[in-house]
Structure 1
Amino acid sequence: MKSSKPNFYFLFIVCFCLTNFSYAQNNNSCGAIINEASNDIYSNPDKVIKIGFSIVKESANNIDCKIKGYKLICDAYTSKRNYVKALEYLNKANSMLPQTNNAMLKIIILNKAGIIYHQLKIYDKAIQYLDQAEQAIMEYPVKDSIHTDLGKNYIVRGFIYKEEFNCDIAINFFNRGITELLKIKSKPAYSIISIAKYNKGNCYILMSKNALAIQNFKESFIAAKTINAKSLQAFANKGLAQVYTLEGNYTDAIAKLNEALVLSDEVEDLVLNQEIYKGLSENYLATSEWEKFKVYHSKYLNVQKLVKKSERESVSESLDLKMTESNNKLKDEKSKFYYFLILSFFILLLIIFLFTVLIKKENKEIALLKKQINDLQLEKRK
């Protein structure tokens, strides 16, 4: 059974959006409108996008509100899993950051950029923005206000290092993120803690440390249950089932997967259902329950087709974005080259001009010197 990375990254972004709307609510400028719109961010994102454009249009003289309007549009596209569009409007917000003195808003936008680039698997850009966000966080004067953002920053790094390097480094960052989030103990914080614990569990499976994997999946379930997050509880149970399957404890694995299936009925998550159906089919095959194996294997194959279609669309969008970035870099390099060429041409002209002037001056001095010599020779002859 594979870990459900795309879905958990999406859940992380959902939690990120929710925590940032609490910030918007406390801002008197346009927070009330944004907070109200946030209630529809996942149920009616198209409506939220329109509200975001309205905020941008009406906030021509209010940079902070305009930035938050673009971020609202970004969050709505995120809820639709259209990360390329989300990034387009986040970049508009990011380009305006030099015009604001709102340090917390800068942190939020930079962190969000890191998360979206990570979702698109453009890891170098993700790290670049996470580094900028971390620096802004460390410079923020009110230290009690930065635990959430710092915690999320560390956990996103954990996701990236898990993919790019190894689980030892990832676990270190997951732990650092969890430590920061436990200092606030808010509802969104418990969601992110559950996700981090789940990913730690997956790391421990890869490291063949089953006892630690079970411990973290159980802790992930407890954190999710604290806030009644059904999807997170289902994933935690799925993780436990994965360990039980590896240990040959098929009965307990099936029980946990059935618990996860009941929880997933309220979630309608394709990736989650795919993993549950796959797990049930594997365990029923192991226990020679052929009819149940056929039922869940068929369900797994049907959902797998839908998930692969969604993943192909996401990969296509990511490739398009990378191609666009490459083209933009190429244009920048061409512009720099042409600028250098033109500058070099003018410098060469200047050198030639100065050299010509210098030669003329030297020729004049030589001619004058010859004339003086000739004059002296004529005087001597006289």
Structure 2
Amino acid sequence: MSPYGHIFFVSTYFTFKMNKIKTINTLFLFVFTCFSVTVQAQNKKIDSLRIELANHRKNDTTQVNLLQDLASSFFRTNMDSSMVYLKKAEELSNDLNYIKGKANVCYLKGIHENIKSNYAKSLYFFKASLKHYQSIRNKKGIANIHTAFGITHYDQSQYDEAIDAYKKAMVIYTELGNRRELATTLINTANVYTEMGRYNIAIAHYKNALRHSIAIEDEDGVAFVQSNLGALYANQGNYLLAIENYNKALDYNQKTGYSLSTAKILDNLGMVYNSLKKHDKAISYYEQSINLTTKNESKQRTAINNGNIADIYVAKKEYSKALEHYHISLEISEEINDLKQASISLGNIGKVNLKLDKPLIARNHFIEAKDISQKIGYKDMYSSCLLAIAETYLSDKKYNKALSLTEKGKQIAEELELLGNQKKANEILSIIYKNKGDFEKAFYSLQQFKILSDSVFNKENIEKITQLEYEFKYKNELESAEKRELQLTKTVLTTSEDLEKSKRNYLWAIIGVLLISIVSISIIFYQKLRNEKTKTLNVMVEQKLLRSQMTPHFIFNSLSVLQGMILNTETKKSVSYLSKFSKLLRIILENSRDKTVLLSQELTAIRNYLALQNLENENYNYTVLVDESIDESLFHIPPMLIQPFVENAIEHAFTSQQDNRCIAIQLIYSNKELTCTIIDNGIGIEASKSNKNQNKKSLSTTITSERIKILSKDFKMKGAVSVKDRRNYNEQGTMVTLVIPYEIHTA
């Protein structure tokens, strides 16, 4: 356990929906770390630390650690006491010039400011802490700070930066074998993917975190995963599963006395019951939550609670009170730069004005919410805003504008599987098409609305469908009669012509056109096939040429290194090197003969290659992470696709003076795509280009890029290469993303 304890806070939010059943999007943030002790055990620990501190009168690093332990122990239950001990620890650390103590103090201060939504101050303290940890090469501390960066970026809706920070932390935790912190970071990463609407990737990360938490018997981790899975279910409208998961997490948190996280779960349950129109029960949960959060200084929490209270007033049709609380929520959100909550508040203000028959005022708020949600990548809110704006145009009878917005909002809702938004979109479409006179599409849209809704319809909806069905059938009959009349007129006119001659000419014309078409298509197809075969043959020759070039080059370099070890009488090292070299060479030669190889074989070759590089230089920290949804024994991929980019990173990414060189390789399987990312913390692609001859290119990576294009056609699936400078995300190094064509052999 670290000297500054295990601390967490939780973040929740919700979105508005224009349909009758409001969908919830509630997200827990599992931060820093968590601990599995009861309140009674925690109080015993505090008493023990106080006694130990009273007996230890010497002003040394031990006293600093005791003060920090007390500060972290009070962090959840009494922030004032925590800050008193933290201030004493800071003063003594400065007097002793105790670097680790300074780092820990800055870290805890950063958490404190984050809880109060002072993100600029929070980042300031985290950066100061990182410098201290780096100066003493404390890997655990460095990883914790990267996690803290990720959380702070997440709170400001900077999702790409958050994911990149979490990946850095995961690399270090994997190196340290720290499964507890790795599970924590996996949960945080899943939360970001949930926010971005990438639910499949989020679920994969949650399940991976759950696997680690169960393995180390971390009940906290299991509870947090259940909470976050509950949030996903709530967002998709599956309220029963959401309640089930929330209650499991609530039961555990109430036993352990985690007041802040308990308050967040109570909020979530309140929002779910509000969506189910059980308003009294919702109010009960909100009141319990407010009682637990009054002692905390979280402005973000205050903004959310005001929004929740406003929701109840909307349900009671007390719109003036609802607007009052929504505006309070908006003001606080803007003050702390919480763009996500600001967009939600703006949307809710628009919703109330729409109910008050003020479409223009509502539209202005919806547009502002749309712009913010689009800017921060908040897709489900963006979908809701598009549909809401479309609804304001219905009263103005601007159906074309409404149609364009509705179709766009519906597309996003279908991508994210947002049931409420899909229902609302089809309801709006039925109104638009009816007013445009397209009764067929209006009838179809209302049928889709019916399918998405509950099986038992109210009288109003049944009457709507019956009316549209009658109008649609009447219009069809009218059009059918017109067609029959036109056909009869044509028949009468054609009887005066020479039927035999017309039929004969018509038959010969058809035969001629068919013959010409068949010959033309055959010629075009043959030429295209020949060109494709030529291209494929050229690429195969280039691949074989590349392998024939790489193998002697690789052998020569490896033997040179081995010779140097022998001359320097490094017997053990040379034997180890020779063993790894022979294994790698055998794998490369075996794989080069086959069209596809097992993913496990390819990864073994990469690990051996990286191990050889480390044995020679001992300069690289590398990780190879494979998502648990990938069975390495089933996936077959083309050989030598990943290795050239790893080699390129080793040869060109780092300067000779750079320390702490890291290469992280991760494979993810999502939406039937096998994706491999290769990340380094080197000088970046742009700097690497400027250091080399402008006309010089990596032959292996160039041919591999061309090879993937051909392989994607051969495998009939997507294959792609993307190389980005991480400087675009205010980070150091290069990120290569490969979408790898594959086959799955189950037998």
Tell whether the 8 Å contact from 1:193 to 1:220 is kept in structure 2 after alignment.
Answer: no
Q: Following the alignment from structure 1 to structure 2, what is the Cα–Cα distance between the partners of residues 313 and 189?
A: 29
Question: How far apart, CA to CA, are the structure 1 residues paired with 2:270 and 2:164?
Answer: 31
The residue matched to 1:174 in structure 2 has which SS? helix
CA shift for structure 1 position 103: 4.3
1:310 aligns to 2:372 (yes or no): yes
Amino acid at match of 1:93: A
Distance 1:242 1:108, change over 3 A: same
How big is the shift at 1:74?
1.2
Q: Which has the higher helix share?
A: 1
Partner letter of residue 151 of structure 2? D
1:34 aligns to 2:34 (yes or no): no
Query: In structure 2, what is the equivalent of residue 215 of structure 1?
Result: 281
Determine the C-alpha separation between the residues in 2 that align with 1:316 and 1:258. Answer: 25
Residues 1:182 and 1:316: Cα distance change in structure 2 (over 3 Å): closer
Residue in structure 1 matched with residue 303 of structure 2 by the alignment: 231
Q: CA separation of 1:55/1:194 partners in 2, compared to 1, >3 Å: closer, same or farther?
A: farther
1:184-205 per-residue CA deviation (whole Å, 9 max, x = no partner) reads: 333421342233224422542x
Q: Map Cα deviations across residues 272-331 of structure 1 (whole Å, 9 max, x no partner).
A: 43244234324434xxxxxxx58xx62x4444333212222233999xxxxxxxxxxxxx
Structure 1 residue 86: Cα displacement: 0.7
Partner residue of 2:131 out of 37, 50, 54: 54
Unaligned runs of 5+ in 1: 205-209, 245-249, 286-292, 319-334, 349-382
CA spacing shift, 1:275–1:130, aligned 2, 3 Å: same
Q: 1:120 to 1:55 in 2, by over 3 A?
A: farther
Distance (Å, rounded) in 2 between the aligned partners of 1:278 and 1:221: 26
Separation (CA, whole Å) in 1 of partners of 2:178 and 2:149: 20
What does residue range 82-101 of structure 1 map to in structure 2 within 5 Å? Answer: 82-101=158-177
Percentage of matched positions with identical amino acids: 11
Give the AA of the match of 1:94. Answer: M
Matches within 5 A, 1:323-334: none
Equivalent in the alignment of 1:196: 268
Aligned to 1:67: 143
Give, in whole Å, the separation in 2 of the partners of 1:242 and 1:158. Answer: 25
Q: Decide whether aligned partners of structure 1 residues 257 and 140 sit closer, same or farther in structure 2, where only a CA change above 3 A counts.
A: farther
TM-score by length of 1: 0.65
Aligned equivalents of 2:212 and 2:290: distance in 1?
Answer: 30
Matched with 1:352 is none
* 5+ residue gaps, structure 2: 1-15, 36-67, 76-99, 295-300, 335-340, 381-542, 548-583, 596-747
- For the 8 Å contact 2:330–2:346, the answer to whether it is kept is no
Cα distance between partner residues in 2 of 1:57 and 1:102: 19
- Residue 71 of structure 1, CA deviation: 0.9
2:195 pairs with one of 119, 141, 162:
119
Corresponding residue of 2:345: 273
SS at match of 2:181: helix
What is residue 321 of structure 1 aligned with on the other side? none
Distance 2:346 2:33 in 1: 29
Structure 2 residue identity aligned to 1:230: T
Q: What pairs up with 1:128-167 in 2 under 5 angstroms?
A: 128-141=204-217, 146-147=219-220, 149-164=221-236, 166-167=238-239
| Map of 2:741 onto structure 1 | none
Root-mean-square deviation (CA, aligned residues, Å) is 3.9
CA distances 1:42-75 after superposition (whole Å, capped 9, x unpaired): 3215424533642553353x32112102112212
Q: In 2, are the aligned partners of 1:77 and 1:83 still within 8 Å (CA)? A: yes
**1:117 Cα deviation from its structure 2 partner:** 1.8
Residues 140-173 of structure 1 show CA distances to partners (whole Å, capped at 9, x for unaligned) of: 35x6xx34x4333212101222345722222222
What residue number does 1:370 align with? Answer: none
TM-fit CA distance, 1:256: 4.3
Residue 262 of structure 1: how far off its partner (Å)? 4.3
Evaluate the alpha carbon distance shift between residue 187 and residue 19 of structure 1 in structure 2; reply closer, same or farther with a 3 A threshold: farther
Q: 1:347 to 1:125 in 2, by over 3 A?
A: closer
Check 1:235–1:217 CA distance in 2 against 1; reply closer, same or farther (3 A cut): farther
Partner of 2:180: 104
Amino acid at match of 1:83: Y
Alignment of 1:276-295 (within 5 A): 276-285=348-357, 293=358
Distance 2:309 2:235 in 1: 23
Specify whether residues 178 and 235 from structure 1 end up closer, same or farther in structure 2 by C-alpha distance, changes over 3 A only.
farther
Q: Distance in 2 between matches of 1:218 and 1:18?
A: 31
Equivalenced residue count is 298
**Structure 2 counterpart of 1:227, one-letter code:** T
Indicate how the Cα distance of structure 1 residues 257 and 347 shifts in structure 2: closer, same or farther if over 3 A, else same. closer
State whether residues 77 and 86 of structure 1, in contact with CA within 8 Å, keep that contact through their aligned partners in structure 2. yes
> 3-state DSSP class of the match of 1:109?
helix
Question: TM-score of the superposition, structure 2-length normalised?
Answer: 0.35
Q: Does 1:184 pair with 2:256?
A: yes
- Conserved 8 A contact 1:114-1:130: yes
1:175 matched to 2:247 = yes
Task: Provide the C-alpha distance between the structure 2 equivalents of 1:83 and 1:136, rounded to a whole number of angstroms.
Answer: 24
| Distance in 1 separating the partners of 2:141 and 2:251 | 32
Q: Secondary structure at the match of 2:150?
A: helix
Q: Secondary structure at the match of 1:121?
A: coil
Decide which moves more: 256-265 or 36-45: 256-265
Matches within 5 A, 1:238-277: 238-244=310-316, 250=317, 252-262=318-328, 265-268=331-334, 269-277=341-349
Q: Which has the higher strand share?
A: 2
1:318-356 Cα deviation digits (max 9, x unpaired) = 9xxxxxxxxxxxxxxxx9xx99996454479xxxxxxxx
Q: Which has the higher contact order (CA 8 A, sep 6+)?
A: 1
Q: Within 2, Cα distance between the matches of 1:19 and 1:217?
A: 31
